[in-house]
Structure 1
Amino acid sequence: MKAVNITFKFQDGQPDQTHVAAEGESVLDVALNNDIQLQHNCGGVCGCSTCHVYILQGENDLPEISDKEEDFIDRAVDPRINSRLGCQCVMQGNADIVVLIPPQNFLGH
């Protein structure tokens, strides 16, 4: 697998950041490893909705959404068709990913 770039965009106006992700790393892993604030109340085990993100590009190179993940996304703030949980977006393909991180000023579920 080639190196995959994840570009993080932020709804709160921060400048975009692009980081390299290794196979098996999640969007949440890459965010935390690069000091990007992304809540993760359950510790990244698909047990809450706080690492909710929007996938703007590269969704076809991510694992298919599970029923459990979909249930938690329904509890997220402002879920959309391209909503995913960062902890479940594990790098497995060769396409670069673009992620929009919603504001992180909430208490989460």
Structure 2
Amino acid sequence: MAVTTITFQFHDGQPAQTHVAAPGESVLDVALNNGIQLQHNCGGVCGCSTCHIYVDKGGDELPEISDKEEDFIDRAVDPRLNSRLACQCVVQRDMQLTVTIPKQDFLGH
């Protein structure tokens, strides 16, 4: 039986963490369920850019980025080609994702 995993890497050099994810969970859900601090000012409904992440591996297996998500990524700090919102990255079966959590702005921007 294949297992879906997400490996979280951190901008500040703390050790990476790998966690199992159930199909239908978002990267944000998995982070929060495992004590990983990831901002989510809108509550995870694609209403802000605070859960901005970089998808380093496995991004082709994620749902396609929506226009709304792209608009919010444009407002994120230091967006890149592999930027996504963790609340919109819903895992599927048999996936192995690697994501980096960039420096977060704790002032709510």
Q: TM-score range by the shorter chain?
A: over 0.9
Moved over 4 A (4+): none
* Structure-1-length-normalised TM-score: 0.95
Structure 2 unpaired stretches of 5+: none
Corresponding position of 1:67? 67
Write the deviation string for residues 33-83 of structure 1: whole angstroms up to 9, x where unpaired. Answer: 000010000000000000000000000110000000000000000000000
Moved more, 54-63 or 87-96: 87-96
Corresponding position of 2:23? 23
CA distance in 2, matches of 1:108, 1:94: 34
CA RMSD across the alignment: 1.3
8 Å Cα contact 2:27-2:87 kept in structure 1: yes
8 Å Cα contact 1:62-1:93 kept in structure 2: no
3-state SS, counterpart of residue 49 of structure 1: coil
8 Å Cα contact 1:49-1:108 kept in structure 2: no
Count, aligned residues: 109
8 Å Cα contact 1:61-1:94 kept in structure 2: no
**Identity, % of aligned positions:** 74
* Structure-2-length-normalised TM-score: 0.95
